[in-house]
Structure 1
Amino acid sequence: MLPHRYLSEMEDSHRWLDFPVRDGDIVISTRSKHGTTWTQMICALLVFQTPDLPGHLSETSPWLDWTIAPKDEVFARLEAQEHRRFIKTHTPLDGIPIHPQARYIVVARHPLDAAVSLYHQGANIIRERVAELTGEPVPEAKQGPRPDLHDWLVGWTRSGNDPREHPDMLPGVMAHLSDAWARRAEPNLLLVHYADLAADLEGEMRRIAAWLGIEVDEARWPELVKAATFAEMKSKAEQVAPDPMGVFRSRDAFFRRGTSGSAAELLTPEELAAYRERAAAMAPADLLDWLHRP
């Protein structure tokens, strides 16, 4: 049975069907604004064991499903890599072939915090540039003035979109994470929480390194951890932000705040209770306890 196909104006998960996975490949599967670039940077630092990376992060760790980049070029770039590869996807695990000898990292974030970051990223995207690259007109829904953050966030919590057609809306986020949560006992899957990266970056980097079987000289840890901090990544936005085709108004703005826990304060107690009720209908209680913790 083939994996489900996630298809949009810029993504086609069936590219994975033709991709020759190597033993040891690291696949980073996240929803948008859940810590994708952060995890890519951590993997880069662990693989190369130096803050001086060999090139732009988006080229070293390409987004394989991204149809704007020609498939043959992406595959050729990855084929030429002799180091341990780490590859980005926003596709849930049910949309990609799972190879027993590859490693899969799924990163979770409090959904409300991720949604607020997604809202702000929307303002940073040049829709006309996306239309130019895809050959598709700017969708009507993305034209004209945007609702304010509060109203948009309330709408996001109430969305009833098909999770496979709109994976960045609440049902899609919960489906992505619920699927990974159900697989969490599998030996080649690691769940990472954005809040843990923020609270104990070194501890999480050491945990990821151990799980990947990567040994790091003790003397190297301080510089590697520093290079993975939000401040350091923001200072190198031109080399780190995932914008190889120039769709961002500002690469610096991609690294907006990097904090957690404040999004819930945008909602009234009634709105927050309604969000939690919807989330409870979409995901198991133990996942939600893990996901919503400080």
Structure 2
Amino acid sequence: MTDKTVAWPVKTRELLNHHMDSTIWDRFAFRDDDVIVATYAKSGTTWTQQIVGQLVFAGRPDVPIHDISPWLDLRVMPPDTLERLEAQTHRRIVKTHLPLDALTFSPKAKYLYVARDGRDVVWSLYNHHCSGNAFWYQLLNETPGLVGPPMPEPDPDIRSYFRTWLAEDGWPFWGYWDNIRTWWDARRLPNVKLVHFADLKADLEGQMRAIADFLDCDIAEDQWPTILEHCSFEYMKANAENVAPLGGAIFDGGAKSFINKGVNGRWRDVLSPDEIAAYEARALAELGPDCARWLAHGGL
């Protein structure tokens, strides 16, 4: 039974663009043990999907996480995605990049929201954008049902790219601040857990044990070394075809180019002091001091 005294999130809008179609969640039939991995994008999504997959499947080396854990609101997903999820008999792991107010919410599912400093997000987004091949643009821009402008080619200057992303709130992808804010506001819900990319980097085992507790995954102690190995960047890059979206078919260089560096702070030697200050002022204004501090450093 769900707690009737809890103010559960309610979907109040749709989000549709070259990537997104939030309406699909209205047709998704939740199960009580579903795990939803939510992020803005390039915040540790695939890493967290791999973590959850390893916890659910107890360290199996052959879990094709890219296949079993679809980005449900990606509008160019195969049309049978809902049917394939319905056919799964194991505990399901579903990915979303939606802000919470554009997502149909189940009080019984478990939600992991992963965040990362926006400057690190942009550096990873830029690599992702520059690696997109002709097939990627074809899927996004030529699949019927496109809402809004098509996906453009990236600005060749990463500083200019960053400034535009900041000034136009996530351009050319989607809004950043409301994504962070809506999930931060839900952080005290019993079925929502916030995770930070920097905390995963600093203490992967500790963070994974906390995630396992949240998901009620009973992991035998002798399984942990294998599970931890399978969640390392080195292992994921070596087995990138199992984790990269569409097996890496949409990226120049294939799946291994999708699993890039997993490194924070690359912006420090590139952005000017004024650009850094502009980002920090915007974060404070959009999120308030507590959320802005957590977004920059983790440690909730």
**Distance (Å, rounded) in 1 between the aligned partners of 2:42 and 2:109:** 24
Counterparts of 1:202 and 1:141, CA distance in 2: 38
8 Å Cα contact 1:181-1:287 kept in structure 2: yes
Aligned pair partner of 1:142 in 149, 152, 157: 152
SS in 2 for 1:9: coil
> Which residue is equivalent to 2:7?
none
Amino acid of the residue matched to residue 68 of structure 1? Answer: V
Q: Which residue of 2 aligns with 1:269?
A: 273
Report the equivalent of 1:177.
180
Is the Cα contact below 8 Å between 1:46 and 1:214 reproduced in 2? yes
Q: How far apart are 1:133 and its partner, in Å?
A: 6.3
Determine which of 74, 78, 90 is the counterpart of 2:85: 78
2:163 to 154, 177, 180: 154
Matched residue, 2:262: 258
Q: Name 1:200's counterpart in structure 2.
A: 203
Task: Give me the whole-angstrom Cα distance separating, in 1, the residues matched to 2:114 and 2:151.
Answer: 29
| Amino acid corresponding to residue 231 of structure 1 in structure 2 | E
Partner amino acid, structure 1, of 2:97: H
User: What's the counterpart of residue 63 of structure 1?
Assistant: 71
Deviation digits for residues 102-156 of structure 1 (CA, Å, limit 9, x no counterpart): 111110001100110001111110145432565259967724x733222222332
Q: How does 1:231-246 map to 2 (within 5 A)?
A: 231-244=234-247, 246=249
- Asked whether 1:28 is paired with 2:37, we answer yes
Contact 1:31 1:168 in 2 (8 A): no
Q: Secondary structure at the match of 1:263?
A: coil
The answer as to whether partners of 2:76 and 2:139 remain within 8 angstroms in 1 is no
Q: Deviations over 1:162-218 (max 9, x none)?
A: x7xx5845xx22211111111111001000000011111111110000011111000
Aligned counterpart, 1:11: 20
Task: Looking at secondary structure, tell me which structure has more helix per residue.
Answer: 1
Matched, 1:280 2:287: no
- CA change 1:29–1:199 in 2 (3 A) is same
Mapped to 2, the partners of 1:234 and 1:46 lie a distance apart of: 19
In the alignment, the residues of structure 2 paired with residue 127 and residue 113 of structure 1 have an alpha-carbon distance, to the nearest angstrom, of 25
Distance 1:220 1:51 in 2: 10
Query: 1:68–1:134: 8 Å Cα contact kept in structure 2?
Result: no
CA–CA separation in structure 2 for the residues paired with 1:266 and 1:246: 30
State the TM-score, normalized to the length of structure 1: 0.90
For 1:11, what is the secondary structure of its paired residue?
coil
Structure 1 position 64, deviation (Å): 1.0
Q: Do the aligned partners of 1:178 and 1:284 also contact (CA within 8 Å) in 2?
A: no
> Percent of pairs identical after alignment?
37
The residue aligned with 1:90 is: 97
Q: Which residue of 1 aligns with 2:5?
A: none
Structure 1 regions of 5+ residues with no counterpart?
none
Contact 2:54–2:60 (Cα < 8 Å) also in 1: yes
Structure 1 residue 277: deviation in Å? 1.2
SS at match of 1:203: helix
Decide whether aligned partners of structure 1 residues 167 and 128 sit closer, same or farther in structure 2, where only a CA change above 3 A counts.
closer
State the one-letter code of the partner of 2:20: E
Distance 1:196 1:129, change over 3 A: closer
- 1: CA distance, partners of 2:90 / 2:16: 30
Gaps of 5+ in 2: 1-9
